[in-house]
Amino acid sequence: MKAKTIYLDNSATTKPYKEVMQTFMAVNEQYYANPASIHAMGVESNELLLRAREQVADILKTEAKNVLFTSGGTESNNTAIFGLARGNKHKGQHIITTEIEHPSVLESVKQLEKEGFEIEYLRVNKQGVISLDELKAKIRKDTVLVSIMHVNNEMGAIQPIFEAATIVHAESRAAFHVDAVQSFGKLPLSFNGEDGPDCITISGHKIHGFKGSGVLAFRKQMQWQPYALGGGQEFGLRSGTVAVPQAVALAKAARIAVETMQERAEKYRAWQQEIRAELAQFGDVVHILSSPACAAHILSFSVRDIKGEVLINAMQKHGVIVSTSSACSSKQTKTSHVVEALTIDEHYKKGVIRISFGAHVTAEDIAQFIQVIKKVLMELKGELLL
């Protein structure tokens, strides 16, 4: 009999909640009209879209008119970075980001560099965290955009975004964008009045919603150059017929995520401690990349001189699904830029694997995972451990 699959790759994507799938079906059945149409059906789906917008706005503490629905985290990041940088070019051409951002941020700023922008990257320490002093030193009067991710996708480091926001707002006129794809629904996050970020990226499929849905939200209306051009939907900022079912599903997933956040965080924290304790028994065979201060739902570790791919395959044989450091870069053979940034010992660079928890993971799954990882480590590294 095939054992139950234990899915521990929730930072790559999650399984949608049942309720969210029901919403998606129901909206497609009943409110499929184009929300921009002026007939009664269009008006109705527009009303529903507005409600979804309001729900997301309430969670983030902004107004509905500042919430754009997009096709996902990558589009939100691209839209924010191109829109804010190009729209504020007259104020300056200096951009600050970090060396451990998601590729959708890094590739966007590289493109802007070709257009004449000057890009500076904040380094991270061994815990994967930026230094606020470095931000203070690098920020200038002509900085127009600062983009810092809230939680890193490869090892879960939490960046001090609220402290960073204070610096950005005090020292420059720059817009402060936060990629919150990995943190939304896991850590408290909102625009926090005047002291928070200006712009936040959220992805639907990381919070048990759907792939192909995301949000880009603003604290207030901003100087902006639209990135997707066309029919002027989403207040002219993101053209393209709005995917109402995706938007409503995302709003529902976001509500459930925020409502259950506390309870899940406690669970994840306990599991993480349990696994850390087990891995500690393997001494220097296992190196844990995620510092104890990291987000509770991500734990990255590396096995000395073993390729990540080998570990993943070995664990998969026992029904446990984990990932190399990130799903996006897992097919590439070179070491990820995040792992490089952490400056860890060569012996541990190739074997980074990431486990990430989600709402459907159970305590039994974790117990099973621990059994499997121990078994796999004994198989691969037994001779060193005996």
Partner 1 sequence: MIWKEILIRYGELSTKGRNKMDFIRRLRENIRHAFADLGHLHIRTERDRMFIAIEDEAQMDALLAGLPKIFGIQSFSPVAACEKDMDAMKKLAITIMDTFKDEQLTFKVEVKRTDKTFPLDSHSIQREIGGHVLPQYQNLSVKVKHPDVELRVEVRHDSTYMMAQVIPGAGGMPVGSNGKSLLMLSGGIDSPVAGYLMMKRGVRLEAIHFFSPPYTSQNSLEKVKVLANELTKFGANIRLHVIPFTEIQVLIKEKVPSNVSMTTTRRMMLKVADKVREEIGALAIVTGESLGQVASQTLESLTAINAVTNTPILRPLISNDKLEIIDIAEKIGTYETSIQPFEDCCTIFTPASPKTKPKLEKVEHYESFSDFDELIERAVNNREVYIFPKKEQPKDKFADLL
Least Å distance between CB 202 and partner 1? 16
CA 64 – CA 257 distance, rounded (Å):
19
Q: Indicate the residue among 60 and 157 with the shorter CB distance to partner 1.
A: 60
| Beta strand 118-122 pairing with 94-98 | parallel
For position 48 contacting partner 1 by CB under 8 A, the verdict is yes
Q: Which stretch binds partner 1 (CB under 8 A): 44-52, 153-161, 197-205, 345-353?
A: 44-52
* Selected catalytic residue, list 167, 288, 327, 328: 328
Question: Which residues neighbour 328 within 8 Å (Cβ) at sequence distance 6 or greater?
Answer: 102, 103
Q: Is residue 55 a contact residue for partner 1 (CB under 8 A)?
A: yes
Binding mask 196-235 for partner 1 (x = CB under 8 A): ----------------------------------------
Query: Which helix (DSSP H) or strand (DSSP E) does residue 382 occupy?
Result: helix 363-385
Residue 328 bears catalytic tag: yes
Min dist. Cβ of residue 74 to partner 1 (A): 25
Token digits of residue 54:
């309001």
Q: Does 27 bind partner 1 (CB under 8 A)?
A: yes
For residue 95, CA distances in Å to 14, 74, 104, 161, 198 come to: 32, 18, 15, 16, 15
Q: Nearest approach, Cβ of 54 to partner 1 (angstroms)? A: 9
Considering only residues 242 through 301, tell me which ones interact with partner 1, judged by CB under 8 A: 248, 251-252, 255
Asked whether position 57 contacts partner 1 by CB under 8 A, the answer is no
From CA 169, how far away is CA 224, in angstroms rounded?
18
Between 38 and 386, CB nearer to partner 1: 38
The half-sphere exposure of 281 on its side-chain side, counting CA atoms within 13 A, is: 12
Helices and strands: H and E segment counts in the chain: 10, 13
- Mark residue 273 as left, alpha or beta (left: phi above 0; alpha: psi -120 to 50; beta: remaining): alpha
User: Considering only CA atoms, which of 70, 66, 35 is closest in space to residue 53?
Assistant: 66
Rounded least distance, CB 349 to partner 1, Å: 45
**Does 169 sit near partner 1 (CB under 8 A)?**
no
Out of 21, 28, 33, 51, the residue judged to bind partner 1 by CB under 8 A: 51
Asked if 336 is part of the footprint of partner 1 (rule: CB under 8 A), the reply reads no
- Amino acid letter, 289: L
Residues of this chain that bind partner 1 (CB under 8 A): 23, 26-27, 38, 40, 43, 47-48, 51-52, 55, 248, 251-252, 255
| Residues acting as catalytic residues | 328
